[in-house]
Structure 1
């Protein structure tokens, strides 16, 4: 009997130990990986531990949790009013694309062919004609454009939709950065003249810059893509490009494409030209089109740039919660008054337009809550303890650098707003300093290779020839991937007469950013 009791006690002890280990595993708040020493594992750990995403049983697909969707909504709240000022109207087009429509524009489908997912069965039956799931929506929307546009009075036509798309990535998927399904806004517009289309491209590109720099505190370069890297079927592509110093890789942050008249030709999108309408025989003219988009990739870029070894670090303008209020009751403290003060503080902040929340859970210690909200990247933490009640104040702690300050309740709103503005600007300044420190100007092939090995963002004079770009990609095809053009900045540095291309030795035509990319 004693042996049985001993065995039972040993079993219970083992089970208790296992349970405790599981609890510790679930509630562990510190990161196991460092951003500097193991970036990939650090990134995966941060986005899961901070409750941004959940992994799914289909590779490359992820569950976007409320913390992520709150950030996405903040970006929508900025972008929608801005494009409404440009008379862009909301719409929603089908997820599915007919095979005929998708294959109507040859260059376009060839550019997306490897990534297109097809529906081939319905229940137990094979479909007579496979149906594609949209990788983008030009071929879904442009039959409507053809029906809608008849005369010059139907122009410009400007539509935007917030939807999901599917691109069946075969390279290693990275949550937010490269996934098989993602969210984006997708603008499609048509104009009577190329000048109007060109103007809109630059206006949208500036909105994308503002989104990254003013809301996500991420520095970007506005530029034009090379012919090799432009959108399939388009006339030219512009983009905002970000750079991740820890990995030495560029990220195409958002794109605005001038499609020219190629799709208009394929989909018969014509209009009666106003100048010719009064003649006996009105002649048709083809529209000029644009498409432009940014996706949930923006969120991944923000995490990579600002996150640290404590977790996320969110810029105030992009955060779902800007201020978290935490009660700190000591032993024998008047807990009820402290909780009431926390609730009142949240109300005061919310009434002034600040996104504030109180963590009043009684099953976690204040220290645990500090770590929890640090992990989730809340920009500002407000603590209230007994001495704060006595002094009619709160203590505020910055999420970006840990700086602390005591704030009188009489000046709460103004001080908190000022701190949030300071955090926003400081995060951008720090990110820009780190990015700029990685920029390397190179004028020779040897300098280029050395900078590439040092994970630099390379700015080099280029002859703008596609064959030269292909040769650079071929000669730099290392284990870490080939170097390629990222963009030619719209704000071009002075190109001295006689400057030669770093790769070909031919006369250079422009400065171009090069590097490896996601």
Structure 2
């Protein structure tokens, strides 16, 4: 990667290198000494905190509580649900020794928490009065990613939240699955300004151990799909092996119905790819660590106090509206350096103030999304800044929707399918529902079924592979 200041790769020429430079040079994260791991820097962690706060408030408002689980899971416990365990085995990190002493039952570094959570739930749940149980865990998961690593997208340890709920009825559990998916969609679209498509995974692509998996998917500028979050209906597939049961109102012992769901810091990766440009990050105001940066411009001591006092005044006005504002008062760098620095870090709005601006009773505003400049009278500070930030948020979402439309195509011919997939796209195509055809597409093109949209309708078209009657229209894509 280039050590030069600023982003040296073009987004549309070397997407992978551009992405890596943005992550490192915008101070989001850095590589850790262990391959596959990254260190999240304060600027990147602040974005995660914004997402965490938003989701946490929504979850608590709907009756969910936060808990904590340890990172070590005994192998004997993981193997209770054999299909689930087998699905994670290739990615599991194992602890085999305590100091120099070999331990008996190997300990897995948590790849996911179903086994651990449900072994505890079986102790806590005895009666229908104990239900529902709706616990969310903000933690990390560890899954061995050694070869194709990429910051935020594929790392061996990642930040996420995983919810695990228990219910008395199937209907209540299935309602939970959809409500969580809608909560995720609202957060991603309204906070990150990224449109998503929601629906179900195919049986081949569903979460191991689930009855079915619902998902939200988005398309990146390079034409690859990114799974943005999932919500799983587990049925009784875990309650039976882990003995999660309760006495119902008729005093009959019944196995409970369960769900699990989660999103990870992969959302930050999507944010970078969708909105970033050749200058670096472009952050939606609602998740930006700094929403507005004020750059005071002065060239003499006599001007400095005048300009800094006005900058402080503007900051205090905006802070009353809970806006995150920073005054860049560094003297060791030029205003031009500051402009490029904050553009690379994606701050949504820059305010420039100099003595001449103060004399004219106005400030200069520079939008990060379009880099357009405009003047704003000081008397219009509150409404002007707030309205512009709202407009930037909406514009980024509209631009992302345009990308989704541009990268989405309806294809019924397999030769055209192969050609379009090489370009990178979401391809809506008829599918018969058979796994053999799904696997043929994967082997031939590298694409899999990302999502079967909830509103997908069967058409008169034949399956794109076998030419038998289709049962639905699925969205295929290559993915990260």
TM-score, length basis structure 2? 0.98
Indicate the residue corresponding to 2:448 in structure 1. Answer: 484
Matched, 1:30 2:10: no
Indicate the residue corresponding to 2:61 in structure 1. Answer: 85
Alignment equivalent of 2:200, drawn from 224, 239, 246: 224
Indicate the residue corresponding to 2:141 in structure 1. Answer: 165
Indicate the residue corresponding to 1:13 in structure 2. Answer: none
1:178-193 to structure 2, matched below 5 A, reads 178-193=154-169
Cα 1:463–1:170 change in 2 (3 A) is farther
Which has the larger helix fraction?
Answer: 1
Q: Which has the larger radius of gyration?
A: 1
Indicate the residue corresponding to 1:21 in structure 2. Answer: none
Aligned counterparts of 1:462 and 1:307: Cα–Cα separation in 2: 35
Alignment equivalent of 2:458, drawn from 483, 487, 495: 495
Indicate the residue corresponding to 1:327 in structure 2. Answer: 296
- For the residue of structure 1 that corresponds to 2:203, the secondary structure is coil
Matched, 1:504 2:466: yes
TM-score, length basis structure 1? 0.91
Indicate the residue corresponding to 2:210 in structure 1. Answer: 234
Larger CA deviation: 414-423 vs 165-174: 165-174
Indicate the residue corresponding to 2:324 in structure 1. Answer: 355
Q: Post-superposition shift, 1:331? A: 4.8
Aligned counterparts of 2:469 and 2:362: Cα–Cα separation in 1: 66
Indicate the residue corresponding to 2:150 in structure 1. Answer: 174
Q: Post-superposition shift, 1:491? A: 2.1
Equivalent residues of 1:185, 1:295 under 8 A apart: yes
Matched, 1:45 2:8: no
Alignment equivalent of 1:252, drawn from 227, 238, 244: 227
Matched, 1:515 2:455: no
Aligned counterparts of 1:109 and 1:174: Cα–Cα separation in 2: 25
Indicate the residue corresponding to 1:18 in structure 2. Answer: none
Matched, 1:62 2:38: yes
Equivalent residues of 1:191, 1:197 under 8 A apart: yes
Aligned counterparts of 1:248 and 1:333: Cα–Cα separation in 2: 54
Q: Post-superposition shift, 1:475? A: 2.1
Aligned counterparts of 2:465 and 2:343: Cα–Cα separation in 1: 46
Aligned counterparts of 1:398 and 1:264: Cα–Cα separation in 2: 52
Aligned counterparts of 1:174 and 1:91: Cα–Cα separation in 2: 29
Aligned counterparts of 1:88 and 1:340: Cα–Cα separation in 2: 46
Aligned counterparts of 1:445 and 1:77: Cα–Cα separation in 2: 45
Alignment equivalent of 2:383, drawn from 414, 421, 439: 414
Aligned counterparts of 2:146 and 2:335: Cα–Cα separation in 1: 45
Matched, 1:243 2:243: no
1:387-402 to structure 2, matched below 5 A, reads 387-402=356-371
Matched, 1:315 2:289: no
Matched, 1:261 2:236: yes
Equivalent residues of 1:222, 1:490 under 8 A apart: yes
Alignment equivalent of 2:274, drawn from 288, 294, 305: 305
Indicate the residue corresponding to 2:109 in structure 1. Answer: 133
Equivalent residues of 1:333, 1:386 under 8 A apart: no
Matched, 1:455 2:424: yes
Could you list the runs of 5+ residues in structure 2 that have no partner in the other structure?
A: none
Alignment equivalent of 1:295, drawn from 239, 246, 264: 264
Post-superposition Cα deviations, 1:268-323, rounded to whole Å, max 9, x if no partner, equal 0111122x23xxxxx21111100000000000011011111100000001111100
Indicate the residue corresponding to 1:144 in structure 2. Answer: 120
- For the residue of structure 2 that corresponds to 1:427, the secondary structure is helix
- How many equivalent residue pairs? 479
Could you list the runs of 5+ residues in structure 1 that have no partner in the other structure?
A: 1-24, 278-282, 477-481
Matched, 1:440 2:409: yes
